[in-house]
């Protein structure tokens, strides 16, 4: 039995609005203004979209979230959009897409062997140690899954399966690190969250794991917290640092605006640290010492402790 070609799968305009996150009216405007998408019509005359167009629309949406304007990208094909998106992704640390371990993990994901993938990653963290496991395997694997999705090699639901599985792996690792190294009086006290525009939390969990490993006291609010609530929580929790994660779906401009606004509201009551692809592209517009990648967390914690030890002396 042969599988249906990609274009044979049709989605309604409501399906596209729900799955891609682009409003129906916007889709109609793009159709008139740019000649894309080019929907077919069903028996009732309603718009339906082939799967290859839906995939291309999803690539367009990700680039728009990165700050591109529709007029610059709507005429590009799927391969050009994927290539453009890959240039915006942060460099994969230590391991690339051709790494055997990365390929093996993605193969397990694509074959839906999620329990085996979970066990493999958990064992790798135990063998490598949490810091190396996160920076040398988990982070590049997460980037690789995103790149595979952009190329159409991983389905949206498979990416969701991966995210849910990895959240469980990371929370188990965080609990172990907290039990081993952390306690209620540990410093610095770090409040972790994302701003309302940022719905992705895997980067936040990776940062929390490495901070816990350094003996920091971590309090996570999860994702999409309004700035006013972040400030209130930081004061209530006596946070020394507010750590924000920005994935590639947040535009650099939005990341800078949120970080600067939060710094203004907090004043000198807490530092603001930020990491992820959303701020890497805008590093020059922020305090370089407060824009971190995962590998820089141990040094940043050491710097904070040295500064505050000197102030207390």
Domain formed by 183-312, architecture: 3-Layer(aba) Sandwich (3.40)
For residue 93, pLDDT over 80 is answered with no
- Per-residue pLDDT tens digits for 36-89: 999 999 999 999 999 889 888 888 887 776 667 788 888 898 888 877 766 554
How much is the average pLDDT of 256-268? 94
The model's confidence at residue 5, banded by pLDDT at 50, 70 and 90, is very low
For residue 125, pLDDT over 70 is answered with yes
Burial grade of 44 (CB within 10 A; 0-12, 13-18, 19 or more): exposed
Residues comprising the chain, all counted: 313
Cβ atoms 93, 138 nearer than 8 A: no
Segments of the chain assigned to CATH 1.10.1240: 100-179
Query: What's the pLDDT at 282?
Result: 79
140: which residues sit within 8 A by CB, 6+ positions away?
A: 92, 93, 94, 95, 96, 99, 102
Domain formed by 100-179, architecture: Orthogonal Bundle (1.10)
The mean-pLDDT minimum among 21-35, 62-76, 150-164 falls in 62-76
How much is the average pLDDT of 31-35? 92
How much is the average pLDDT of 106-113? 96
Segments of the chain assigned to CATH 3.40.50.280: 183-312
Query: What's the pLDDT at 310?
Result: 62
Which residue has better confidence, 68 or 311? 68
Peptide bond into 53 cis (omega under 30): no
- Per-residue pLDDT tens digits for 272-300: 999 998 888 778 888 877 898 888 898 89
Segments of the chain assigned to CATH 1.10.1660.10: 6-88
Question: Going by DSSP bridges, is the β-strand pair 189-193/217-220 parallel, antiparallel, or unpaired?
Answer: parallel
Look over the chain and give the mean of its residue pLDDT values, rounded to a whole number: 86
> Rounded CA gap, 168 and 60, in Å?
30
| Alpha helical stretches, state H, 129-155 | 130-133, 139-150
Query: What's the pLDDT at 62?
Result: 75
Cβ atoms 85, 63 nearer than 8 A: yes
CA-closest candidate to residue 141, choices 155, 168, 119, 159? 159
Domain formed by 6-88, architecture: Orthogonal Bundle (1.10)
Query: What's the pLDDT at 3?
Result: 41
Structure pTM?
0.69
E strands, 71-149, in order: none
| Phi, then psi, of 50 in degrees rounded to 5 | -65, 155
């Amino acid at each position: 039995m042969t599988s249906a070609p990609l274009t044979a799968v049709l989605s309604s305009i409501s399906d596209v609005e729900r799955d891609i996150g682009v409003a129906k009216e916007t889709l109609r405007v793009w159709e008139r203004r740019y000649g894309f998408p080019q929907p077919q019509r069903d028996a009732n005359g309603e718009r339906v979209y082939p799967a290859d167009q839906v995939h291309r629309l999803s690539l367009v949406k990700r680039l728009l979230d990165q700050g591109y304007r529709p007029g610059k990208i709507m005429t590009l094909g799927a391969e050009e959009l994927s290539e453009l998106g890959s240039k915006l992704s942060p460099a994969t640390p230590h391991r690339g897409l051709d790494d055997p371990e990365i390929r093996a993990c993605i193969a397990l994901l694509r074959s839906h062997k999620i329990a085996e993938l979970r066990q493999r990653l958990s064992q790798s963290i135990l063998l490598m140690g949490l810091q190396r496991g996160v920076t040398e395997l988990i982070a590049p694997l997460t980037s690789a899954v995103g790149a595979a999705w952009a190329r159409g090699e991983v389905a949206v639901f498979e990416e969701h399966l991966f995210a849910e599985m990895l959240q469980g792996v990371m929370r188990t690792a965080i609990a172990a690190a907290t039990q081993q190294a952390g306690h209620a009086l540990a410093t610095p006290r770090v409040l972790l969250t994302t701003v309302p525009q940022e719905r992705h939390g895997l980067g936040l969990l990776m940062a929390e794991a490495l901070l816990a490993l350094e003996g920091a006291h971590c309090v996570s609010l999860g994702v999409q917290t309004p700035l006013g609530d972040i400030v209130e929580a930081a004061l209530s929790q006596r946070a020394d640092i507010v750590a924000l994660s920005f994935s590639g779906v947040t535009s650099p401009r939005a990341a800078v605006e949120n970080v600067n606004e939060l710094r203004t509201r907090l004043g000198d009551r807490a530092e603001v640290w930020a990491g992820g692809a959303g701020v890497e592209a805008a590093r020059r517009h922020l305090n370089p010492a407060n824009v971190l990648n995962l590998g820089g967390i141990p040094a940043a914690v050491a710097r904070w402790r040295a500064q505050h030890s000197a102030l207390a002396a």
